[in-house]
Chain A
Amino acid sequence: MTPAAGAPLLEAEGITKSFPGVRALHRVHLTLQRGEVLALIGENGAGKSTLMKILAGVQEADAGEIRVDGRPVSFNTVESAMRCGIALIHQELNLASNLDAGSNIFLGREPNRWGWIDEKMLRRQARGYLEAVGLDIAPDVPLESMTLGRQQLVEIAKALSVNARILIMDEPTSSLSQSEAERLFAVIRELRGRGVSVIYISHRLGEVKELAGRVSVLRDGENAGELGRDEIHHDRMVRLMVGRDVERFYQRRPHRPGRVVLEVKGLRTRAYPASAIGFALRAGEIIGMAGLVGAGRSELLQTLFGVQAALEGEIRVDDQLVMVASPRDAVAAGLALVPEDRKGQGLILPMSVSDNLSLVSLRAHRRAGGFRDRKAERVVARDMIAAMRIKTPSDRQEARLLSGGNQQKVVLGKWLAVDPRVLLLDEPTRGIDIGAKQEIYGLMEDLAERGVAVLFVSSEMEEILGMSDRVLVLHEGRLSGELTREGLSEEAIMHLATGGAPAAETSP
């Protein structure tokens, strides 16, 4: 079983894969050494996920060869990839939340005799793997009582328990808090030290810089280039991903904030009943809301939008006191929310682009007796598709078939059709590629120019720094400070986000 001398741990060559109408991968190659963290980056639709699925045995390549330890292998099931030591850690966690940690680790491979599970053995072995990923919990802790970050570590423990030598992680930090992500990085480094190799897919270039020993870039289903440890810089990665220089990523235009559109006073949310929040938003202003995950940002937006009832507080739109007990009230008051969970809360996936775009404005276009005015709806939809440059073969295309960026444009578009006064966005660019990100930023700028007050929540520091006229920082449900353009810096935000006192006295 000694590996062929000098052969890399994993080698993929000439991988080609087509789906009906799409060439997902074309002659892609990839190598992975022992104990290496390789970052795989690229825009959405560049073929990263397809490549990973092929390496993990979820899908089969049309052509190409995969070698492990220099020996050609062929995978057509997840189990056959597992036998070669390859485990895929999915973007969406693949665990059974009704079982405990130990049962999840050994799911499908329970130590048993004649089908009878040996619980004692299972727990004893599980404990070792939990320790290996730095989790000091008992194996019988139910999964549903654990945070997402811990669940992810359980998933890694599960991969280790099948003696995985190659871990493929697809956007593992997308739903983790800062501290959870850091814990994950520590575990990855520790695993690397023990000779485990990791292929790390992420949109967050900051993470890539921190973790990766090498970066491989895919573009349009082909290799776009590779960067060694010393070459990993933000600009170079972006250039390879986009295929051109991104001259000025955040094209801020000067805003002239007008009068106050939204005023919030003493608002207490269910998530943090102890803190009352107050702030004001002006017309034509873009405000970023920063904070660690769990700081109550999403909850605040949802409370403003009536998804969750407020415990107390005043919301005024254009100086009018409004009662927001439901999203319907919020819409009537001129508020719009682009939710964080695009697929779950923003879109009706099996419905067409046109039907999604007209969902909010249906009422406005209805005819006598409640009948839909389908002609008007389609006109609105087509205008919106053209105005927002939504890439779709037709307005009848199902929303689920669009790329993430175009889906997000549809969500935005359905609100623009009713001309909101205040636009709330929750992680507007999460999981969408760089080109589409830029377009979303452009749309936010356009709206501000038209006098809409824009409030967006983001966990991406660069986005907050690049887009905001002002930044509100939350810490554990409390508004811990406000930063204007002049005092804006990553350090200042982190200082407030981690509970530091606002440095109000020192700034002019």
Chain B
Amino acid sequence: MKRILGILVLLIVVYLATWIMSDLLTGRQSFMSNFNQENLIRRTALFGIISVGVAFVIITGGIDLSIGSVVCLVGVGFPWLLLDKGCPLWLALALVPAVSGLIGLTHGLLITRLRLQPFVVTLCGLLIYRGITRGFTRDQTAGFRNDFTNFRRLATDEIPVPFLGGFGIPMPCVILAVVAVIAGIFLNRTIWGRYLLALGNNEEAARFSGINTGKMIVLAYVICSLLAGLGGLWFVLDVNSAQPVDFGNFYELFAIAAAVLGGCSLRGGQGTILGVIIGAALMQVLRNMITLVDEIPQNIEFAIIGTVILAGVIGDEVTRRIVARRRRGVEGVGTGLPPAA
């Protein structure tokens, strides 16, 4: 809980700052409009789904750079199959988890069996899946055009909330809620979640405790790619069409940033689902701020996001040191040794 507190405060500060700068100081109602708030939640939910996925991999001490390309492969491939290839809906739907799961399985096996480094394996994935997508579509935009509007309501609809003047909860938020609850229970209440946390901290200890660490690492990559695929599907359902060249570009970095902001350590063994979702929300509020506040030029978006992530991580590190120092003060004499690695 303590780990989430910092990022939660940062989210609230950025949220209020955006509200003040965009609405209160100008007398407009753009940030607080129902449309904008719904959109903010929708984007947070979509990015939250892929961020939760990468959190599992980061908790094992790994990394997945291929998320954006998996989003592209699924997001472009799904409408392409349906409309350009005339594939039945059930088959296209079945292919989403099948293909993304297979991708995660491949990553996991290459990492655990061949002992390749996660960074390298998934970097190659990033290149390969986007290349493949651009290949089979010949760079042509894929989209639902005016078909499948009923199906698309799974992403575009809102569930109206009474007494809030037409404000509704966007469907992706429901999906994220389901994903987050399952992920949270999995991580904190099941033996497999505990195995992931243990092996992320000390893989040897986990192995010597009789845990099949290889299998668990593969599982983490499968979860990550599955959620990237799920995210890709909902991204394209939401926006209707997708261009193979840039759909999902940089999404892996947004997801990793959200996970790190949310308290995951890239050294492994740490992370909470709620923190990751708050991290994803912070990223989206920031982007929203850059769009809405006139004084901030659009083109420095990345610089601002980068700075805020850096500030968040620095803040986290500083608090941790203060806590550690205070604890040492309470305990008095330490062991005189560095903590066991």
Contact = CB atoms under 8 A, between A and B. Distances in A.
Interface of A: 58, 78-79, 82, 88, 90, 92-99, 103, 107-110, 112, 115-117, 144-145, 147-149, 151, 158, 175, 177, 271, 293-299, 340-341, 344, 476
Given A97-B202, A107-B198, A107-B206, A175 B335 contact: yes
Nearest to B336: A294
A115 B340 contact: no
B337 interface: yes
Contacts, number: 106
B340 A299 contact: no
Interface in B193-237: 194-195, 197-202, 204-211
Given A92-B340, A110-B191, A297-B336, A97 B201 contact: yes
A144 B339 contact: yes
B336 A117 contact: no
A297 B335 CA distance: 11
Contacts of A293: 335-337
B270 to A, nearest CB: 6
B189 interface: yes
Interface in B149-200: 189-192, 194-195, 197-200
Contact of B336 (A90, A96, A295): A295
B194 A103 contact: yes
B297 interface: no
Given A98-B197, A177-B336, 6 more contacts: A95-B340, A99-B197, A99-B198, A107-B194, A107-B206, A116-B189
Contacts of B191: 110, 112, 115, 117
Contact count band on B: 20 to 34
Contact of B194 (A117, A340, A344): A117
B335 A145 contact: no
B210 A175 contact: no
B189 A94 contact: no
20 contacts: A92-B340, A94-B204, A94-B209, A96-B198, A96-B201, A96-B269, A98-B270, A99-B198, A103-B198, A107-B198, A112-B191, A117-B189, A145-B327, A147-B334, A175-B337, A294-B335, A296-B336, A297-B336, A299-B336, A476-B333
B341 interface: yes
Nearest to B198: A96
Contacts of B207: 78
Nearest to A94: B205
A117 B197 CA distance: 14
Contacts of A158: 209
A108 B195 contact: yes
Nearest to B203: A96
Contacts of B202: 94-97
A294 B335 CA distance: 5
Nearest to A158: B209
Contacts of B190: 112, 115-117
Given A98-B270, A107-B211, A108-B206, A148 B201 contact: no
Contacts of B199: 96
Contacts of B339: 97, 144
B338 interface: yes
Nearest to B270: A98
A255 to B, nearest CB: 29
Contact of B209 (A108, A144, A271, A476): A108
Contacts of B204: 94
Interface in B282-341: 327, 333-341
Given A92-B340, A107-B205, A79 B335 contact: no
B336 A79 contact: no
A14 to B, nearest CB: 27
A103 B198 CA distance: 9
Contact of A148 (B194, B206, B337): B337
Given A96-B202, A112-B191, A117-B189, A149 B327 contact: no
A115 B209 CA distance: 17
A449 B67 CA distance: 64
Contacts of B197: 96, 98-99
Q: Which of A58, A115, A158 has its CB near the most chain B CB atoms (within 10 A)? A: A115
A95 B336 contact: no
B194 A147 contact: no
A148 B335 contact: yes
Nearest to A56: B208
A99 B335 CA distance: 20
A90 B208 CA distance: 10
Nearest to B202: A96
Contacts of A82: 210
Across the A-B interface, the 9 shortest Cβ-Cβ residue pairs? A108-B209, A94-B205, A96-B198, A108-B210, A107-B209, A96-B201, A294-B336, A98-B201, A98-B269
B194 A110 contact: yes
Nearest to B200: A98
A79 B207 CA distance: 10
B184 to A, nearest CB: 13
B336 A93 contact: no
Contacts of A296: 336
Contacts of A295: 336
Nearest to A97: B201
A251 to B, nearest CB: 30
B159 to A, nearest CB: 30
A112 B202 CA distance: 22
B201 A151 contact: no
Contacts of B335: 147-149, 175, 177, 293-294
Nearest to B211: A108
A496 B192 CA distance: 51
Contacts of A117: 189-191, 194
A264 B43 CA distance: 62
Contacts of A298: 336-337
Contacts of B210: 78-79, 82, 108-109
Nearest to B268: A98
